Amino acid sequence: MPFQYKKVLVIGASSGIGEALASRLVKEGSSVIVAGRRKDKLEKFVHEHGTDKSSAAPVDITESDKIPNFVTNITKTHPDLDCVMLNSGIQRGFDFSKPETVDLDVVRTEFNTNYLSYLALTNAFLPFLKSKKEETAIIYTTSGLALVPLIRCANYCASKAALHHYILCLREQLRGSNVKIVELYPPAVQTELHDEKHQPDIKNGGSIGIPLAEFTDKAYEGLAAGKEEVTVQQAKQWYDKFEPQRQEIFHILANR
């Protein structure tokens, strides 16, 4: 099934889920702009997929003061952009019962990367996306941990939960506009998110979760079907167990 958007910016495409989905989009016929901190990884992607279907845009989304210029450059260079996928994320482990072990600078960086930067990027891209006549979209990668937290990475879970609530509200605020808001909920996936270099308490982190290829197939299927909420494997199980009822209450409050 082809993807309905023809030019997609994937932020957080240096590796893992972002890179895999960007590759799949190219395969299915979309043009892709890959963005992230690691310029060498982005250039490798373009080399492998061709300049006719891909381009690179290095960016560090934690540098919030640079986001407006980044967005201006992207939209001027790619006026046919119709979809933005926000996929960047980091995960760190903290034991908040032992304050002496908690580096608050790392806590802030994690929350900024996973939540605040998404808000800044959304604010910067929305005027452009709303100005287009055709349907456009912003796709956010959250997590099953936005619904059910894991103790060892509490701040990560909190950042994803914050993003999930923001998405619910933004989607309703944009009802009737041409901008579609999509949330992708991965389960644990075998990527470098769990690498020991980032989380020393995890051993063999690359084996945690489902294979990346399996996740990519299921995620793409949901995205190509036009779903507003795409849940995969364990995240789907958790979602189905209680989230529809919770969102029913949310919509009751929204309609008041």
- Residue 107: count other Cβ atoms within 10 Å of its Cβ: 17
| Number of domains, the chain | 1
Alpha-carbon span 193 to 12, nearest angstrom: 12
Looking at per-residue confidence, does 178 or 195 come out higher? 178
Contact 197, 219 (CB under 8 A): no
Tell me the CATH number at 62: 3.40.50.720
pTM above 0.85, yes or no: yes
Predicted pLDDT of residue 256: 86
| 143, two tokens | 């997590």
pLDDT at 151 over 70: yes
pLDDT at 91 over 80: yes
For residue 41, what are the domain limits? Answer: 7-255
- Asked which of 88-92, 95-99, 144-148, 182-186 is least confident by mean pLDDT, the reply is 88-92
**Is residue 2 one of the residues assigned to a domain?**
no
- Beta-strand ranges (E) seen in 60-170 are 83-86, 136-141
- Beta-strand ranges (E) seen in 64-173 are 83-86, 136-141
Predicted pLDDT of residue 170: 98
User: Average pLDDT over the chain, rounded to whole?
Assistant: 94
Predicted pLDDT of residue 192: 67
**Is residue 222 one of the residues assigned to a domain?**
yes
**Is residue 30 one of the residues assigned to a domain?**
yes
- Residue 130: count other Cβ atoms within 10 Å of its Cβ: 12
Alpha-carbon span 83 to 125, nearest angstrom: 10
Block residue for tokens 């959250």: 142
**Is residue 243 one of the residues assigned to a domain?**
yes
CA distances from 150 to 2, 21, 157, 191, 205 (A): 35, 25, 7, 18, 15
**Is residue 1 one of the residues assigned to a domain?**
no
| 29, two tokens | 């016929």
Q: Name residues whose C-beta falls within 8 Å of residue 147's C-beta, 6 or more positions apart in sequence.
A: 161, 164, 185, 235, 238, 239, 242, 243
